[in-house]
Amino acid sequence: MFSPLIKELIESLRCLPGVGPKSAQKMALYLLEREHKGADRLAGALREALDKVGRCSGCRTLTEETECSICADPERDATRLCIVETPADVLAIESAGTFDGRYFVLLGHLSPIDGIGPEELGLDHLDNVVLHNQVEEAIIATNSTVEGEATCHYIAEQLKSKNINVSRIAHGVPMGGELEYVDGNTLALALEGRKTL
Q: Is 169 in the site for a second copy (CB under 8 A)?
A: no
Distances (CA, A) of 54 to 51, 66, 118, 139, 179: 8, 8, 19, 24, 43
Strands 137-140 and 101-105, sheet pairing: unpaired
Q: How far is 189 from 47, CA to CA, in rounded Å?
A: 44
- For residue 96, the one-letter residue type is A
CB 179, min distance to a second copy, A: 28
CB 114, min distance to a second copy, A: 10
CB 27, min distance to a second copy, A: 5
**127: enclosing H helix or E strand:** helix 123-132
Q: Is 42 in the site for a second copy (CB under 8 A)?
A: yes
Q: How far is 26 from 2, CA to CA, in rounded Å?
A: 13
Q: Is 72 in the site for a second copy (CB under 8 A)?
A: no
Q: Is 117 in the site for a second copy (CB under 8 A)?
A: no
CB 148, min distance to a second copy, A: 15
Q: Which is nearer to a second copy, 50 or 197 (CB)?
A: 50
Which residue in 11, 100, 127, 157 binds a second copy (CB under 8 A)? 11
Q: How far is 189 from 70, CA to CA, in rounded Å?
A: 32
Maximum alpha-carbon separation in the chain: 68
Q: Is 131 in the site for a second copy (CB under 8 A)?
A: no
Q: How many chain residues touch a second copy (CB under 8 A)?
A: 58
Residues that bind a second copy (CB under 8 A): 1-6, 8-9, 11-13, 15-18, 23, 25-50, 52-53, 62-65, 68-69, 86-88, 90-91, 94, 107-108
